[in-house]
A and B are shown apart, each in its own frame.
Chain A
Amino acid sequence: MTLRLGMVPWLLVMAACIPVPTPSVVTLEEPPSAELARLAAGEAIVVLPNRERESQYVADCVREKLAEKLTQNRVLTADEVRDALFPWLEPNRTPRDDAMVQALVARPAVAQALQDLRLRYLVVVDLTSTDDTVGAEVLAAGGGFSKVSARATAEVVDLEAACCRPGGAASATGLQGYAHVMIYGFILLSAVEGPACDRLGAALVQSLEPPAVGRAAR
């Protein structure tokens, strides 16, 4: 059998799967600690990944969110802060409890560097994803679906108060997968990592953004 040009569009239609974006349910599970003080104008903040490889996406995402909204502050990159404070913020060396933070800021050279940078907060972020797959294939029909969820968490190191505070947690749950009858099918696409990260970033902005000028004057 020879393939004629006229058959190509029909073949494409028959074989195509229709992608269907599906919404995800986003929840702020835990807001950032109420004890976190708002940033002062001009102060700097940095977002560090908790695990270098696995948390890089959420670190970039939260950093972009903060940089977009905290216009009166400097949102520094992890690389520039690590270079300036070498070797104390290298991977797996980030202080994670009050005693470690106090020991770090007690070092005169570190205190001077922090003052030069006006660095107030380290935000250490992490992301965990889960995927529960269900589905079956029966003769020419079938499908496979996954309930996917992502949970973004943050811990905030206050370098001025030398203490660690919970920075909040946000999760997003959605559905991903496909279904088909014969060769007709559709694909469900539900993004979860981005929405979880966006929600966490928004909560951090709300907690840390400097007071509005009018409010501050009062």
Chain B
Amino acid sequence: MLARRKIKPFLLVMMIAIGSCATRQEIIEPQPPSFAPPLVEPLALRIGYAFDPSIDQEVVVTTDDERYDLRLGPATRTAFERVWGAVFVEAIDLAEAAPAHESPAGLDGTIRLRLAAAGLRRELDRYYGFTVFELIFLNPDGSQGGVWPVRGDGVAAASGQDSLELAIRAVAATVATDLDRQPALRRWRERYD
């Protein structure tokens, strides 16, 4: 009886000790961005856009004592739907299941957005998040017209979620301002010159 009484507190202490050593797991899902549709002059192009399945795949980031499961899909979709709608005179949402090299007739081109990398780390009291997206340009004949990788970084004191929201926002800003300088876009526009 006495031995059993001693074992219980011992087990409790062991469980607390093991629990404190375990990796802390956190699901990070950035909120949809708050920015207005980008204030840019729309390009006179009719494009289709699609989101690669990688957008909705969880990115797992592990450190010695932390594990982050990053779910970037919903925030990314909202951000880029807003960007495509402002950057082109017409942007059509193609079915995500469409084959990668399909480009429906009547479109000047298709842009497929792929999540190439994402990460999150915590240092002292700040979270550092980053995302790398690839814009895959598909010509009207289905051939690939180029790939543009865009990286965005975000630093936030409050949470990892905030830092990733800033990282997605940074990519959206770069795409909104620099997209018209991409060679594939120039070629698509030359057809009208």
Contacts and interface: CB of A to CB of B under 8 A. Distances in A.
Given A93-B173, A109-B41, A86 B155 contact: no
**Chain A interface residue number, banded:** 10 to 19
Given A90-B170, A108-B41, A109-B41, A83 B155 contact: no
Nearest to A88: B39
B39 A86 contact: yes
Contacts, number: 45
B41 A87 contact: no
Nearest to A108: B41
Q: Give the interface centre of B38, B173, B177 by most chain A CB atoms within 10 Å.
A: B173
B36 A86 contact: yes
**Chain B interface residue number, banded:** 10 to 19
Interface string B153-172: 00100000000000001101
A53 interface: yes
Contacts of B40: 87, 107, 109
Interface in A46-78: 52-53
A161 B169 CA distance: 30
Q: Lowest 4 CB-CB distances: which A-B pairs, in order?
A: A87-B173, A86-B35, A109-B39, A90-B173
Contacts of B36: 83-86, 113
Contacts of A110: 39
Interface of chain A: mostly helix, strand, loop or mixed: loop
Q: Give the interface centre of B39, B126, B177 by most chain A CB atoms within 10 Å.
A: B39
B155 A52 contact: yes
A82 interface: yes
Interface of B: 34-41, 126, 155, 169-170, 172-174, 176-177
Given A87-B172, A90-B169, A93-B173, A82 B41 contact: no
A158 to B, nearest CB: 19
B169 to A, nearest CB: 7
B173 A113 contact: no
Contact of A113 (B39, B126, B155, B177): B39
A107 B176 contact: no
Interface in A76-117: 79, 82-88, 90-91, 93, 107-110, 113
